[in-house]
A and B are shown apart, each in its own frame.
Chain A
Amino acid sequence: MPILEARSLTKNFRRPDKASGFKGAVKHLAQRKYKNYTAVDGIDLKIEAGESVAYVGPNGAGKSTTVKLLTGILKPSEGTVRVMGRDPHVERIANAYDIGVLFGQRTQLWWDLPVEESLKLLKHMYGVSDADYKARIERFDELLDLGEFMPALARTLSLGQRMRADLACALIHDPKMVYLDEPTIGLDISVKDRLRAFLRELVNDGTTLLLTSHDLADIEEVCERIVVIDKGVIAYDGPIVELKAHYITTKAVHLVLEGPADVPALSEKFPEYAWAAGEAASEVVVTYESARFTTAEVLADVTGHLQPRDLSLSEPSIEDVIRRLYAGELTK
């Protein structure tokens, strides 16, 4: 049985429909008009225990709304959600014991209190034993360096410290299912690296993870499966490796030549490759299908003819693939 199952999950919202300016405001006061819009449109999602799933999509795609539906915060307009067999909206409190949630844009720390006090309050809420609490705090300290700011007031923390403290809050009760909604938003690269290492360890320990992020490095480093949502509908659902294998079919060699690159001549000489001008006049990019040619073959062909001053290899990143998925250029 999957740990999480959503069927035909739909959420409609109602938004005031008013014209701009003072006139619009007055008109809306007298005659209220609303527009319905669908944030999540009939999503089917199954997550097995121990899976690490990236849930990605452009801004306004319905990612956070889905997380709120899956955690029981929002009531679905249509469809069902079951987390460990429970309806998370109806059995909210029972479900809360089994899940950990982090909203990158909303802290769960008590703003005017030291971090330690927030964690202790959560210990009481979840009924964590003294021994477990101590062991987990030690582990968080080891991996997230919590100790340095445990006595600090939450409102005095930097964003990176706040996020690490929030992560500890979300995991203090050792939840089976963890939802992380943009956990690395606004963080610098060193804090991101530390958080990703921590999340990898969490996944290796068997925790089920659903992660939403705009940072595709989070996704590649932490998750095995990716679900892409756009306009409330799932555009892709599958292993990240398959996504790359399926859609990343070309590689490229960037060449820096001694003189100006003659792209039309090169295209004529090597028609099996795609040639494009680089950023400088002396730069040229040759793209080839990785299934037809090995990199060694391409390099042998090209360097035999051109004697480049420098060269580098690249392949499209998952970011390119997802950008194309968002743009509707690729299909499931």
Chain B
Amino acid sequence: MSHALVVDRALVVIALRRRLAYRTQWLFALALGGGAMLISMTMWQNLIGNGTLSGYDWDSMRAYVIIGFIAATMVFGGADWHIADRILDGHIAVDLTKPVDFQRARAAEYIGSMLSTMPTVLAGVIGAWLLFDPPGPATPLAGVLTALSFALMFPLAFGITYLSILVCFWTKRYLGIMWLREALLGFFSGLMIPLAFMPGWLQTLSWALPFAHFTATPSAIYLGRVDTEGAFGLIAAEAAWAVGLWFGARLIFRRAVRKVTVHGG
């Protein structure tokens, strides 16, 4: 294993261990995420009943809500504050004296923190499966591509989060940026309501943004709402966003690092 990969692995493990140190955080995440999923299920069951809404019947909506739960737990469980705090309180000074690429190191830490959500995801999905018995993937290939879409959420979530955190170099505040990012992600991903419920132009806009890949993409693939070619296209778009945001963030960091001001020792 190359030296850089050894460092990546060490940072992933350390971020994971930092999260594992706080057991109550898991329980809260499970209670919050599970609670939101139960409320969502109840609401959609009442709305859909035995019919369909914008192409969703109760069967497909059950799977949709579970996919949304997985995506939300993963993406909202990342340690964004940890990175933002280091920029805002000046600890970035310490990071910049280490022989590692700043972005890559933060990516490893962020992915480690996302991995720490896996027990919550697993417990939530098992519980939901037992309670709601959702349908399986449309085809075995759709199942594999859904898993791939979830895997791509790791770099994509990092890209979006990291880019938004870099704004702190200019704003010197993070809370508002975080709220904005989470609101955009919640709305345009289809987490709040499936994109199919939106007017055509808003659907087009949503699909043109990276946020759609957090629920709309895996659910469309899983439920067979896109054919195989379409599924591959969505996966390619998700991967392209992850790569594009990675390199875009590099460009922005180059400018942002000139803005570093660490006062007071």
Q: Which partner residue on chain B sits nearest A182 by CB separation?
A: B265
Q: Which partner residue on chain A sits nearest B258 by CB separation?
A: A75
Q: Which partner residue on chain A sits nearest B10 by CB separation?
A: A124
CB-CB < 8 A to B262: which residues of A? Answer: 64, 68, 73-74
Cα distance A108–B92 when bound, in Å?
Answer: 10
Q: Cβ of B151 < 8 Å from any Cβ of A?
A: no
Cβ of B100 and Cβ of A73 under 8 Å apart?
no
User: In the complex, how many residues of chain A place their beta carbon closer than 8 angstroms to a beta carbon of chain B?
Assistant: 36
Q: Cβ of B23 < 8 Å from any Cβ of A?
A: no
Q: Cβ of A104 < 8 Å from any Cβ of B?
A: yes
Q: Of A21-29, A113-121, A144-152, A302-310, which binds chain B? A: A113-121
How many Å from the CB of B18 to the closest CB on chain A? Answer: 4
CB-CB < 8 A to B96: which residues of A? Answer: 71-73, 92
Q: Cβ of A267 < 8 Å from any Cβ of B?
A: no
Most buried by A among B3, B101, B263: B263
How many Å from the CB of A64 to the closest CB on chain B? Answer: 5
Cβ of A126 and Cβ of B99 under 8 Å apart?
yes
How many Å from the CB of B36 to the closest CB on chain A? Answer: 27
Q: Cβ of B32 < 8 Å from any Cβ of A?
A: no
How many Å from the CB of A68 to the closest CB on chain B? Answer: 6
Cα distance A181–B257 when bound, in Å?
Answer: 21
Cα distance A74–B98 when bound, in Å?
Answer: 14
Cβ of B260 and Cβ of A117 under 8 Å apart?
no
Cβ of A117 and Cβ of B14 under 8 Å apart?
yes
Cα distance A104–B10 when bound, in Å?
Answer: 25
Q: Which partner residue on chain A sits nearest B17 by CB separation?
A: A113
Cα distance A106–B257 when bound, in Å?
Answer: 19
Cα distance A111–B101 when bound, in Å?
Answer: 21
A interface majority secondary structure: mixed
Cβ of B265 and Cβ of A64 under 8 Å apart?
yes
Q: Cβ of A101 < 8 Å from any Cβ of B?
A: yes
Cα distance A103–B98 when bound, in Å?
Answer: 13
CB-CB < 8 A to B97: which residues of A? Answer: 71-73, 96, 99, 101
Cβ of A121 and Cβ of B10 under 8 Å apart?
yes
How many Å from the CB of A169 to the closest CB on chain B? Answer: 9
Quick one: which of B56-99 are within 8 Å of A by CB? Answer: 90-94, 96-99
CB-CB < 8 A to A101: which residues of B? Answer: 94, 97
Q: Which partner residue on chain B sits nearest A166 by CB separation?
A: B94
CB-CB < 8 A to B6: which residues of A? Answer: 124
How many Å from the CB of A316 to the closest CB on chain B? Answer: 28
CB-CB < 8 A to B10: which residues of A? Answer: 120-121, 124-125
Q: Cβ of B261 < 8 Å from any Cβ of A?
A: yes
Cβ of A113 and Cβ of B94 under 8 Å apart?
no
Q: Cβ of B131 < 8 Å from any Cβ of A?
A: no
Specify which of B14, B99, B265 is in contact with A121 (CB 8 Å cutoff): B14
A125 and B21 in contact, given A106-B91, A120-B10 (Cβ under 8 angstroms): no
Cα distance A104–B260 when bound, in Å?
Answer: 19
Cβ of A110 and Cβ of B7 under 8 Å apart?
no
Cα distance A107–B89 when bound, in Å?
Answer: 12
Q: Cβ of A97 < 8 Å from any Cβ of B?
A: yes
Q: Cβ of A264 < 8 Å from any Cβ of B?
A: no
Cα distance A71–B6 when bound, in Å?
Answer: 25
Most buried by B among A105, A110, A124, A126: A124
Cα distance A101–B99 when bound, in Å?
Answer: 12
CB-CB < 8 A to A106: which residues of B? Answer: 90-91, 93-94, 265
Q: Cβ of A260 < 8 Å from any Cβ of B?
A: no
CB-CB < 8 A to B260: which residues of A? Answer: 73-75
Q: Cβ of B128 < 8 Å from any Cβ of A?
A: no
CB-CB < 8 A to A96: which residues of B? Answer: 97-100
Q: Cβ of A85 < 8 Å from any Cβ of B?
A: no
Q: Which partner residue on chain A sits nearest B257 by CB separation?
A: A75
Cβ of A113 and Cβ of B14 under 8 Å apart?
yes
Q: Cβ of A280 < 8 Å from any Cβ of B?
A: no
Q: Cβ of A127 < 8 Å from any Cβ of B?
A: yes
Cα distance A261–B261 when bound, in Å?
Answer: 57
Q: A104-B265, A121-B11, A125-B99 are in contact. List 4 more A-B contacts (CB 8 A).
A: A75-B258, A103-B265, A105-B265, A124-B3
5 contacts between A and B (CB under 8 A): A64-B264, A68-B93, A92-B96, A113-B17, A120-B10
